[in-house]
């Protein structure tokens, strides 16, 4: 993910947001928004997503042992460049794809800090796939018609908590590139 691509993508989102908002979602129709959810941060403390209301959020399901894990570098760079400009990256670890996020919350936090100096908010490990264990956050995001097909799928949520865009769910690499 290059800086130019990301900035162009976000600029495009900002310019066309009213026209590209996902059709009314069931959750939105029930007056539920992304920023109404409460969860836990990676350090085990309660986290209210309402603190991000009024900002654009890039929501990403992350994994520490995936071939796409180097995306942490670009995500962190984006977070630092956009800090204070009404934008944030939100990371949600998931072990759904290839069991590539097997660690505990502490192990994930340590890996992210030591390997990529991650400063963007990271939340508790979630289930992104449909089913009874699916995180309510991903139930909401999935109401767009797109759920992650692999790690590092992205969603853009606007300042008013509307889901604007979701990346074409990253497809599983033909040859899984796992980091030992």
- Summarised one tens digit per residue, pLDDT across range 121-140 is 999 999 999 999 999 999 99
pLDDT band at 165 (very low <50, low <70, confident <90, very high): confident
C-alpha distance from residue 28 to each of 72, 143, 166, 169 (Å)? 30, 9, 16, 22
Question: What residues pair up with 123 in beta bridges, in sequence order?
Answer: 41
Residue with the bigger pLDDT between 5 and 91: it is 91
Is 66 a known active-site residue? Answer: yes
Nearest to 121 by CA among 64, 32, 57, 53: 57
Residue pair 123/52 in contact (Cβ under 8 Å)? The answer is no
pTM as predicted: 0.80
pLDDT band at 3 (very low <50, low <70, confident <90, very high): low
Q: Which residues of 51-74 are buried (b: 16+ CB within 10 A; e: fewer)?
A: ebbebbbbbbbbbbbbbbbebbeb
Q: Pick the catalytic residue: 66, 112, 157, 164?
A: 66
Torsion of CA 170, 117, 47, 14, to 10 degrees: -50
Instruction: Dump pLDDT digits (tens) for 21-55.
Output: 444 444 343 567 899 999 999 999 999 999 999 99
Q: Which domains does the chain have, with CATH numbers?
A: 3-16+26-166 (3.40.30.10)
- 18 has pLDDT over 70: no
């Amino acid at each position: 993910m290059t800086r130019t691509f990301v900035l162009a993508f976000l600029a495009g989102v900002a310019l066309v947001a009213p026209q590209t908002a996902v059709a009314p979602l069931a959750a939105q129709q029930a007056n539920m928004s992304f920023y109404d959810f409460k969860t836990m941060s990676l350090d085990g403390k309660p986290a209210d997503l309402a603190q991000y209301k009024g900002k654009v959020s890039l929501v990403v399901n992350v994994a520490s042992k995936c071939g796409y894990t180097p995306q942490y570098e670009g995500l962190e760079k984006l977070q630092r460049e956009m800090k204070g400009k009404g934008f944030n990256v939100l990371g949600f670890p998931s072990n759904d794809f290839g069991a590539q996020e097997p660690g505990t919350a502490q192990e994930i936090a340590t890996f992210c800090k030591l390997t990529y100096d991650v400063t963007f908010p990271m939340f508790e490990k979630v289930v992104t796939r449909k089913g009874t264990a699916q995180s309510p956050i991903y139930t909401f995001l999935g109401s767009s018609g797109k759920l992650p097909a692999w790690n590092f799928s992205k969603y853009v949520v606007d300042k008013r908590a509307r889901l604007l865009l979701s990346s074409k769910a990253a497809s599983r690499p033909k040859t899984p590139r796992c980091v030992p």
